[in-house]
């Protein structure tokens, strides 16, 4: 079996992907034409130029512009189903999709209607595409107390049936202004039984990773790529096997690394850290989940065993039920045995 065929056949989970960032080019164009006068281009060529990022703040501005096109609950369901459709041919079986309720709140969507759209889309993702959908509600970290309040209220009062986690994204350097607010929100979410899955160490240093560990009770961390400059942190992550959801192409496109060859993924594995492989905002970065595995093979020289390890890590770090985890791991093991 060729490495490409192996990657295509490999059962995968996607643990770090954002609702709006998952919107395919055709979907974004449809929305931008449906809602004229936005900042988002209405032709494919212009949209692809629009998706050429200079740094993370630039990416955040583009993301917010696309997010502003999502104005009705039906748009939310369309995005979820589009992601399931796109992931199914890539061997993806399960997704933990990051949704930002505050973004829907500020355009006037009632939380009950958003939840109904998410529930409907989760059911149809499984029946129509064979992809099981779970949700993580995340706070946009730049927006402070109101964003934290809205996100937590939606998670506790009107959660979708498949809500499993509570997170935070956005520009990490802005979070320090609202430290106590965010710690309190995560404490309440965890008390309600939600898993803590914040971003940390993507565009800032180890201090942000320590903050999400000590202040937010992180059970899994989005990115975490800047952990390597702190030996004490590396030792802690190795000892606790706290999963890090790594997204190499995303880090390149938002300017966190200068070249894909410089990505710390290989060293993170060499250090014994627990790493999963993900796509983050795939159409915006001209990638897919399967392409991230191809990058790992082509750029880092990972063979079938190491690619299978990343796939197993994703399954084990997910919030799937134990029986389903065992089934997927058995599928991965069987493929390795025949590949």
- Residues 171, 176, 177: CA angle, nearest 5 degrees: 100
Cα–Cα distance for residue pair 23/67, rounded to 1 Å: 10
pLDDT of 261-282, one tens digit each?
A: 999 999 999 999 999 999 999 9
pTM for this prediction = 0.94
Q: How confident is the model at residue 25 (pLDDT cuts 50, 70, 90)?
A: confident
Residue 339: per-residue pLDDT: 63
Q: What are the beta bridge partners of residue 275? A: 244
Catalytic residue chosen out of the listed positions 96, 132, 172, 202: 202
Across all residues in the chain, what is the average pLDDT?
94
Cα–Cα distance for residue pair 225/213, rounded to 1 Å: 15
pLDDT of 325-339, one tens digit each?
A: 999 999 999 999 876
Q: Is the per-residue pLDDT at 35 higher than 90? A: no
State the sign of the Cα–Cα–Cα–Cα dihedral 227, 231, 235, 236. Answer: negative
If we measure between CA atoms, which residue out of 85, 87, 70 comes closest to residue 30? 70
Residue 239: per-residue pLDDT: 98
Task: Sheet with 92-99: list strands edge to edge.
Answer: 12-18, 92-99, 132-140, 163-169, 195-196
Q: Is the per-residue pLDDT at 120 higher than 90? A: yes
Q: Is the per-residue pLDDT at 294 higher than 90? A: yes
Cα–Cα distance for residue pair 103/100, rounded to 1 Å: 6
Q: Is the per-residue pLDDT at 163 higher than 70? A: yes
Identify the residue whose tokens are 């055709």. Answer: 26
Residue 202 falls in the annotated catalytic set? yes
DSSP alpha helices (H): ranges in the chain? Answer: 3-9, 25-34, 44-50, 56-67, 73-87, 101-105, 111-129, 144-157, 179-191, 206-214, 231-240, 248-253, 265-270, 289-298, 304-317, 322-338
CA quadruple 151, 152, 156, 159: dihedral, nearest 10: 20
Identify the residue whose tokens are 């850290």. Answer: 273
Taking domain 3-338, whether its CATH number is 3.20.20.140 is answered by yes
State the sign of the Cα–Cα–Cα–Cα dihedral 30, 36, 42, 48. Answer: negative
Cα–Cα distance for residue pair 216/31, rounded to 1 Å: 35
pLDDT of 47-79, one tens digit each?
A: 888 888 888 888 888 888 888 888 889 989 989
275 φ/ψ angles, rounded to the nearest 5 degrees: -120, 135
Whether 73 and 114 have beta carbons less than 8 Å apart is answered as yes
């Amino acid at each position: 079996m060729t490495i490409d065929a192996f990657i295509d056949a490999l059962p995968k989970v996607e643990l770090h992907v954002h609702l709006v960032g998952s919107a395919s080019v055709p979907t974004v164009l449809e929305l931008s034409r449906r809602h004229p006068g936005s900042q988002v281009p209405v032709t494919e060529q212009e949209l692809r130029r629009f998706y050429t990022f200079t740094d993370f703040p630039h990416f955040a501005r583009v993301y917010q512009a696309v997010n502003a096109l999502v104005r009705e609950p039906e748009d939310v369901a369309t995005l979820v189903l589009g992601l399931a459709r796109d992931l199914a041919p890539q061997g993806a079986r399960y997704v933990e999709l990051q949704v930002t309720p505050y973004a829907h709140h500020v355009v006037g969507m009632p939380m009950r209607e958003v939840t109904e759209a998410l529930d409907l889309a989760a059911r149809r993702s499984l029946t129509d595409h064979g992809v099981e959908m779970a949700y993580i509600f995340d706070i946009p970290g730049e927006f402070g107390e109101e964003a934290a309040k809205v996100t937590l209220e939606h998670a506790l009062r009107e959660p979708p049936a498949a809500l499993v986690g509570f997170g935070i994204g956005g520009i990490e350097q802005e979070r320090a202004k609202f430290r106590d607010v965010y710690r309190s929100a995560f404490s309440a979410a965890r008390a309600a039984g939600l898993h803590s899955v914040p971003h940390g160490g993507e565009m800032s240093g180890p201090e942000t990773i320590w903050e999400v560990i000590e202040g937010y009770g992180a059970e899994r961390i989005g990115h975490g790529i800047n952990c390597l400059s702190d030996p004490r942190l590396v030792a802690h992550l190795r000892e606790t096997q706290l999963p890090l959801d790594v997204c190499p192409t995303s880090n390149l496109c938002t300017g966190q690394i200068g070249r894909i060859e410089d990505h710390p993924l290989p060293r993170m594995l060499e250090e014994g850290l627990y790493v999963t492989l993900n796509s983050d905002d795939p159409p915006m970065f001209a990638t897919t989940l399967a392409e991230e595995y191809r990058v790992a093979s082509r750029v880092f020289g990972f063979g079938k065993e190491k690619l299978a390890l990343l796939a197993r890590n994703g399954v084990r770090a997910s919030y799937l039920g134990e029986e389903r985890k065992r089934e997927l791991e058995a599928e991965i093991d069987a493929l390795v045995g025949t590949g």
